[in-house]
Structure 1
Amino acid sequence: MDHFLYRDGVLHAEDVPLPEIAAQVGTPFYCYSVATLTRHFRLFQEALAGMDHLICYAVKANSNQAVLKLMGDLGAGVDVVSGGEYRRARAAGIPGERIVFSGVGKTREEMRLALEGGIRQFNVESEPEMAALNEVALGLGVVAPIAVRVNPDVDAQTHEKIATGKAENKFGIPIARARAVYAHAATLPGLRVVGIDVHIGSQLTALEPFEAAYAKVADLTRALRQDGHEIIRLDLGGGLGIPYERSNAAPPLPLEYGAMIRRVVGDLGCEIEIEPGRLIAGNAGILVAQAIYVKEGEGRNFLILDAAMNDLVRPAMYSAHHDIVPVIEPAPGAEQAPIDIVGPVCETGDTFAKSRMMPPVAPGDLVAFRSAGAYGAVMASEYNTRPLVPEVLVMGDHLAVIRDRPSFDEIINRDTIPEWL
């Protein structure tokens, strides 16, 4: 469910008509709904009610500080994967004790930043990282809490570029070696083992891969406790998918996901961490664009928008589907025809949809890309010297621009021409 609905024939973000936002900030723009973000976070709280848990919002899904502030005020922790994300989270008011630091390539500088600023735990992904973190912690005279990320070799049945739990993926330590790695960690005085971490991929649309991975984690927990380790926390990652295409079957609900967690690991007495990002932010945001031209081609027509692959890269990068709808509601029974929906960037890959059935769209009309709140603005670039898209947050009938569109002077003046040219 989201809060982007037609009212009197006009698509609204909560109580604000989208044409009103377009008139204020121009197109293209991203728009997020506080009501939807809040509802999706609370669905996870309800799913894990009665269990000791912390929901750590995955900052990489949508890192705008207004979104992070909202999450923090709702009681969320966050999962960060870089020093920059750590700084964003702290700037948004997230306390260190609610920040989990993940990622395969943490630098010593990032480790020092988190240890000095406060951290809940590091999700350690390799033995060299473990050695580096031990050295940094000892140098600061502190002990770093860690969970070791294990790779369960489970096929997440998702796109190959967002699968993270198979043996050939770069993430984690092979689960078969986990007991030896934990034994080594126990000998390092700068580290304190607090738990186990696992994450198998993103945009999962079935519970079976999660259950297979979590069952392996449950067995490992029992084995590590027999070895003398105090395992008090299980970080089960994120990855629960969202319906990008409204005609398709919906992925499992958070309540179903929570029931599976209880069944598989609920008897271990561990605090549960989960790291949802996409499911919280995805359907809470849209990208609004304006039609520039309708072009007739050889055997196909093209709807050319002012949004491009640099603004929303998911279709080009992952062949991802986004429902694209007119902002002015089509008349009942309006005839639809297939059309390729593309952007103005000089790349054939700048294609959002091929042969998409659409009602008539004329130059100047607005269209909205649904389910664009996650991995949209955060992955945007200034390719072709196109300014980053502004972001707008809506709550009821209130709206705020939470990131401005930079001017061309701001973009160009970042460059420095050497004196000797």
Structure 2
Amino acid sequence: MSADLKFDYKALAKEFGTPFYIYDFDMIKERFLRLKTAFKARKSQIFYAMKANSNLSLLSLLKELDSGFDCVSIGEVKRALQVGTKPYKIIFSGVGKSELELKQALEYDILYINLESEAEMYVLENVAKKLDIKARISIRVNPNVDAKTHPYISTGLNVNKFGVAFDLARKMYLYAHKSEFLEPVGIHFHIGSQLLDISPIHEASTLVAKLVRELKALNIELKFFDIGGGLGVSYEGESEPDLYAYAQGVLGSLSGLDLTIALEPGRFLVARAGELVSSVLYEKITPSKRFIITDAAMNDLLRPSLYNAYHEIVLPYNEGEKSPCDVVGGICESGDFFAKDRLLEQSKNGDILVIKNAGAYGFSMSSNYNTRPKVCELAKFKDKNDKTQIKLIRKRQSFETLVQDELECLKEG
């Protein structure tokens, strides 16, 4: 049985079917409070990066813990509002916001909008002018610091599409400061995701804090120092970042500055709390390979196919000698795999197979490729009597729901 989530997988599979995601809400709460405590010596606010996992029940849990939300689409802003989040606990990031999204964000009166380009600033100013309001902004600075992570999730180098260089940031702040419809309230950086070495974050923090001091000398007083997210988690037994050292490095860079620190953790809070539970369909032996074929596939969990990411995989009820195998799904792509040459026990039809550390960028990146309905999601938590409870927090998608919009168009002729 898995050491992380202690319950009867077989009973859950019988009740809900497979595949399904299950999240340990108590673990998420514990990690949130640990991170919050690390920054208790300074004014700070956590804004959960919703792109990691945006289930409404999860957002409701975090809202009750006093989390804010970092959103990268107006849809995510609406999700945050849907669970009762106050607008001043919402920030809007992302490199490709549309004019309509910017307009809606201003109408919702969220805390601030993270600008990613000079062009976006002019569009936002024009939108704010039409609404006759002042838009609170932060500017994402690209500090050109190597995050030492996977190239697809590195965001702080000059070759990345995110943010602006320091010289352009100064120009934008001066423009916004003089604008009748823009109010610079923060500065933002985010150099990448899955960072196990926190020294690049501290390097970036020092560089960006220097710019804040330069702006202050120009009478541009900011309120928020947004350090993004990116804290890594252990997928293969790596040491996770020391939260105290992480906080102290950031705090040290802000000596003499009265700023509220904004944090945008996503993966750190939810990745290790989630599992994708599937069933074995077949074992297939070829002259050169052993395959375990599961009822989950790359449309349910894309990370291994997209990033060649590692996830621990267990057959919690199987015993015996292990041998190398590829764990794959049934999608018509050779890239549809969860692991290659992984040592696992022999399996047979109906055996439970669990893919661990899948709480972040699992369901949120899932799709209907091959017309596969999206899986259901469950939450595990202890009630006030310390008894483990399981709750369905998203129903399994039906074929009828999947094609509903198309059928309506078809019927309209």
TM-score by length of 2: 0.95
Structure 1 distance, partners of 2:249, 2:305, is 34
* Aligned-pair CA distance for 1:153: 0.8
Q: Against the structure 1 CA distance between its residues 420 and 55, is the aligned structure 2 distance closer, same or farther, given a 3 Å change threshold?
A: closer
Residue 418 of structure 1: CA displacement?
4.5
* Residue matched to 2:282: 293
Q: Which residue of structure 2 lines up, in the alignment, with residue 349 of structure 1?
A: 335
Quote the offset at 1:75 in angstroms.
0.4
Question: SS where residue 405 of structure 2 aligns?
Answer: coil
Does structure 2 retain, via aligned residues, the 8 Å contact 1:13–1:394? no
Give the distance between the partners of 1:13 and 1:394, measured in 2 at CA. Answer: 11
Separation in 1 of the partners of 2:245 and 2:353? Answer: 34
Equivalent residue, structure 2, for 1:7: none
Q: Distance in 1 between matches of 2:136 and 2:73?
A: 17
Q: Aligned partners of 2:226, 2:202: CA distance in 1, in Å?
A: 14
Q: Kindly tell me: are residues 15 and 245 of structure 1, through their superposed partners in 2, closer, same or farther at Cα, counting changes over 3 Å?
A: closer
1:214 is the counterpart of 2:205: yes
Runs of 4+ in 1 over 4 A off after TM superposition: 12-15, 417-421
Deviation, 1:186, is 1.3
Distance in 2 separating the partners of 1:73 and 1:211: 30
Which of these residues, 309, 313, 318, is aligned with residue 302 of structure 2? 313
In structure 2, the residue matched to 1:53 is 44
Question: 1:2-401, aligned counterparts within 5 Å?
Answer: 10-11=1-2, 14=5, 16-246=7-237, 249-328=238-317, 330-331=318-319, 334-396=320-382, 397-401=388-392
Please report the RMSD computed on the Cα atoms of aligned residues, expressed in angstroms: 1.6
Counting aligned pairs with the same residue, the percent is: 40
Any unmatched runs of 5+ in structure 2?
383-387
**1:235 CA displacement:** 0.4
1:111-138 deviation line (CA, Å, top 9, x unaligned): 2212222201111111111111112222
Contact 1:134 1:191 in 2 (8 A): yes
Partner of 1:221, secondary structure, is: helix
TM-score using structure 1 length: 0.93
CA–CA distance in structure 2, aligned partners of residues 340 and 171 of structure 1: 36
Distance 2:326 2:396 in 1: 27
SS at match of 1:245: coil
Structure 1 residue 360 displacement after superposition: 2.3
Distance 2:364 2:255 in 1: 34
Deviations 1:145-201 (A, max 9, x none): 111111111111111111111101111111232212211111221111112100111
Q: Secondary structure of 1:307's partner?
A: coil
Deviation of the 1:108 alpha carbon:
1.9
- Tell me if the contact between 1:16 and 1:398 (Cα under 8 Å) persists in the aligned partners: no
Give 1:265 shift: 2.2
| CA distance, structure 2, for counterparts of residue 387 and residue 29 of structure 1 | 11
Change beyond 3 A, Cα 1:419–1:399 = closer
> Gapped runs of 5+ residues in structure 1?
1-9
Q: CA, structure 1 residues 47+266, in 2 after alignment: closer, same or farther (shift >3 Å)?
A: farther
d(CA) in 2 for partners of 1:253, 1:226: 34
How many residues in Structure 1 have an aligned counterpart in Structure 2? 407
